[in-house]
């Protein structure tokens, strides 16, 4: 039986009846209601571990589709940079299914602002692992000064190593292997809290709504359980932000004594709140996290849930102890600096979120990560084996790039005449 893993209520302003699902290869979508073009939509996003039963009768089925997720994080996006919250549906490079439903707005939909003209339900579930190192892990193209600014693009088939010369079996994982597709009842999120609350209510022989009313929440039987509806009235009145997800994040930061959210814009707070929530959902109970610098091309934005190899200088601990018990997967000591007693180490990690407490410089960005799990590391190792270069292959590819460079320069000269 399919299990609901997590859900998120959001609200998006849609213009010209067109919106997209960022993080997927789906084309633009539209509401089936043709007579409205600019409207506020309440959106409920749900992640399931398998295809669920149809939604209850209050929802009208609209459409279904399949797509490939880039990082496993999606968001509703509309014109003029209107964007919803980031939502984790599962692992990167998986094929997913999605069912879309529609209904008239009801109390508790979205953020309960009373301004919603439509309510959507999007249910996601994983179908299969479709990771392909040729498509999804191609290296950066050839660098050429003064031509196309940075690089010469070569088609993947020109870069790929013929299987006869190097075999790199592509790993195929199961959905159950991934932390993002396992329900963690102790997860510090709203859904984790709700699971614990249901267990507590069951132990006392009462309903969740009765237990909430006993705790001072003004909620009627049958009302959807959302962060807004489960918040006591006295707490709702003191909200600083209209968006309850941002407001909850700021309240948690204040409770922990953190100052990371002070003085930030609402857009930046939204980024912080989404990042904290998704980072927790990507970890199993007791997972150790740590920070690493990511340097070079592509460091500015590494999506949460993506695994990659990183490099960093570590203190060369007496007895070979690890600096922070991290960077242990396929750990390689690449160099030693005897003067500073440091070692240059590489390892495979899974990115969780930006580290807002550590500022990088130039093309260096700090990320909070965890050591990659076996199925995650297998993808990175497969990509490295697939694209590994030997001298003969490098010379052949250099020649292809050189020919393309000559053609590009000739094209640029002809345009200048």
Q: What is the pLDDT along the chain (417 residues), one digit of tens a residue?
A: 888 898 888 888 888 888 889 999 888 887 777 666 777 888 899 999 999 999 988 899 998 999 999 999 999 988 776 788 999 999 999 999 999 998 877 665 655 555 777 888 999 999 999 999 888 888 887 877 766 566 777 776 676 665 555 667 889 999 999 999 987 655 556 666 777 788 888 888 989 888 888 877 888 888 888 766 776 655 444 456 677 777 777 766 664 555 555 667 777 888 888 998 899 899 987 889 999 999 888 888 899 999 999 999 999 988 888 888 889 999 999 999 999 999 999 999 999 999 988 887 778 899 999 999 999 999 999 999 888 877 877 888 888 888 888 888 887 777 666
Pairwise CA distance, residues 417 & 412, whole Å? 9
Rounded to two decimals, the pTM is 0.81
Distance separating the N- and C-terminal Cα atoms of the chain: 68
Separation of alpha carbons 82 and 10, rounded Å: 12
Q: With the C-alpha atoms ordered 201, 204, 206, 210, is the resulting torsion angle positive or negative?
A: negative
Rounded CA gap, 249 and 93, in Å? 29
Number of Cα atoms under 13 Å in the Cβ half of residue 201:
16
Tell me the sheet residues that pair with 397: none
d(CA 175, CA 262): 38
Structural domain spans, the chain: 136-169+389-416, 288-372
Only one residue has tokens 């959905």, namely: 175
Neighbours of 87 (CB within 10 A): 26
* Tokens of residue 135, six digits: 């498509």
CB 12 within 8 A of CB 112: no
Q: Are 129 and 69 within 8 A, CB to CB? A: no
């Amino acid at each position: 039986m399919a299990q609901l893993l997590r859900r998120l209520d959001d609200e998006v302003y849609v213009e010209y009846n067109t919106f997209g699902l960022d993080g997927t290869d789906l084309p633009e979508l539209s509401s089936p209601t043709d007579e409205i073009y600019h409207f506020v939509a309440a959106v409920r996003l749900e992640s399931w571990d398998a295809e669920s039963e149809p939604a209850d009768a209050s929802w009208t089925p609209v459409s279904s589709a399949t797509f490939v997720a880039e990082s496993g994080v999606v968001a509703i996006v509309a014109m003029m940079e209107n964007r919803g919250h980031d939502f984790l549906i599962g692992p990167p490079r998986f094929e997913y299914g999605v069912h879309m439903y529609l209904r008239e707005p009801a109390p508790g939909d979205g953020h309960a602002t009373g301004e919603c003209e439509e309510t959507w339900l999007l249910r996601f579930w994983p179908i299969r692992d479709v990771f392909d190192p040729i498509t999804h892990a191609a290296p950066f193209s050839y660098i050429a000064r003064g031509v196309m600014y940075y690089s010469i693009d070569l088609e993947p088939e020109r870069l790929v190593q013929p299987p006869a010369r190097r075999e790199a079996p592509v790993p195929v994982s199961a959905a159950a292997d991934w932390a993002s597709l396992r329900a963690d009842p102790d997860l510090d999120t709203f859904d984790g809290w709700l699971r614990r609350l249901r267990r507590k209510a069951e132990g006392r022989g009462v309903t969740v709504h009765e237990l909430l009313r006993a705790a001072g929440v003004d909620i009627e039987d049958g009302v959807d359980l959302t962060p807004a509806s489960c918040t006591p009235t006295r707490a709702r009145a003191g909200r600083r932000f209209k968006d309850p997800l941002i407001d909850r994040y700021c309240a948690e930061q204040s409770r922990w004594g953190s100052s990371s959210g002070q003085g930030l814009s609402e857009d930046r707070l939204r980024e912080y709140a989404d990042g904290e929530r998704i980072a927790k959902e990507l970890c199993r109970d007791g997972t150790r996290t740590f920070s690493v610098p990511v340097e070079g091309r592509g460091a500015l934005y590494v999506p949460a849930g993506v695994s990659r190899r990183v490099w960093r200088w570590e203190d060369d601990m007496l007895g070979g102890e690890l600096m922070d018990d991290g960077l242990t997967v396929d750990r390689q000591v690449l160099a030693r600096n005897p003067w500073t007693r440091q070692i240059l180490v590489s390892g495979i990690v899974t990115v969780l979120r930006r580290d807002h407490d550590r500022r990088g410089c130039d093309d260096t960005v700090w990320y909070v990560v965890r050591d990659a799990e076996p199925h995650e590391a297998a993808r990175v190792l497969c990509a490295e084996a697939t694209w590994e270069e030997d001298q003969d292959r490098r010379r052949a590819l250099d020649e292809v790039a050189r020919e393309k460079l000559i053609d590009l320069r000739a094209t640029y000269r002809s345009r200048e005449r």
